[in-house]
């Protein structure tokens, strides 16, 4: 009965006006708010892998956003950060101060990340390149939720079993 009411918009109408019952217990409310809502169901409990991932425009946007030469002005920085629920109202220190303050895409992408540590290579990392720094910015390094270096691509945020950032 609960599942029918939660998925009501997805089903064809059974009658001109199907009855909607209010959620009657705290357990039911918690189930609807946390379990049934699909945006919260990113990792499958069966296989412990993401069931959805970003593709096409969003993936391309994230990749371009984390390029080395992406710089963002103050007004656009505010517009981006205002959409974050976790933003506390403070701007990070700009990467460039003069002639105008500019923030890198990596700085703003770091505002989205949880406090994780991660190190791996991007899709187009050359096999012969070794070391802790990459000329082509293909070594992704995240320390305590801050993107230090690297370009975020499908290998990092895709929807496969061995993807690095999900959930």
Cβ pair 94, 103 in contact under 8 A? yes
Residue 33: predicted pLDDT: 73
Residue 143: predicted pLDDT: 94
- Rounded Cα distance between 81 and 39, Å, is 21
User: How many other CB atoms are found less than 10 A from the CB of residue 151?
Assistant: 27
Per-residue tens of pLDDT for the chain, all 167 residues: 334 344 445 445 545 555 556 767 888 777 777 766 666 666 777 777 666 667 778 888 888 999 999 999 999 999 999 988 888 888 999 999 999 999 999 999 999 888 889 888 888 777 777 778 878 888 889 999 999 999 988 888 766 554 555 44
- Rounded Cα distance between 43 and 161, Å, is 10
* Domains recognised in the chain with CATH numbers: 2-40 (no CATH), 56-157 (1.10.274.100)
Give the angle subtended at the CA of 127 by the CAs of 124 and 132, to the nearest 5°: 90
């Amino acid at each position: 009965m609960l599942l029918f009411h939660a998925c009501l918009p997805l089903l064809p109408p059974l009658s001109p006006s199907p009855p909607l019952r209010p959620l009657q217990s705290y357990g039911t409310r918690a189930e609807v708010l946390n379990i049934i809502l699909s945006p919260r169901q990113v990792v499958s409990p069966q296989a412990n892998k993401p069931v959805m991932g970003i593709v096409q425009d969003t993936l391309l946007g994230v990749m371009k956003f984390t390029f080395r030469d992406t710089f963002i002005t103050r007004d656009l920085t505010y517009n981006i950060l205002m959409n974050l629920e976790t933003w506390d109202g403070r701007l990070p220190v700009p990467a460039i101060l003069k002639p105008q303050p500019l923030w890198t895409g990596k700085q703003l992408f770091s505002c989205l990340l949880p406090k994780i540590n991660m190190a791996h290579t991007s899709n187009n990392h050359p096999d012969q390149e070794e070391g802790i720094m990459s000329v082509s910015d293909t070594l992704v390094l995240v320390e305590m939720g801050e993107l230090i270096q690297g370009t975020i691509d499908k290998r990092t945020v895709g929807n496969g079993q061995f993807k690095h950032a999900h959930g």
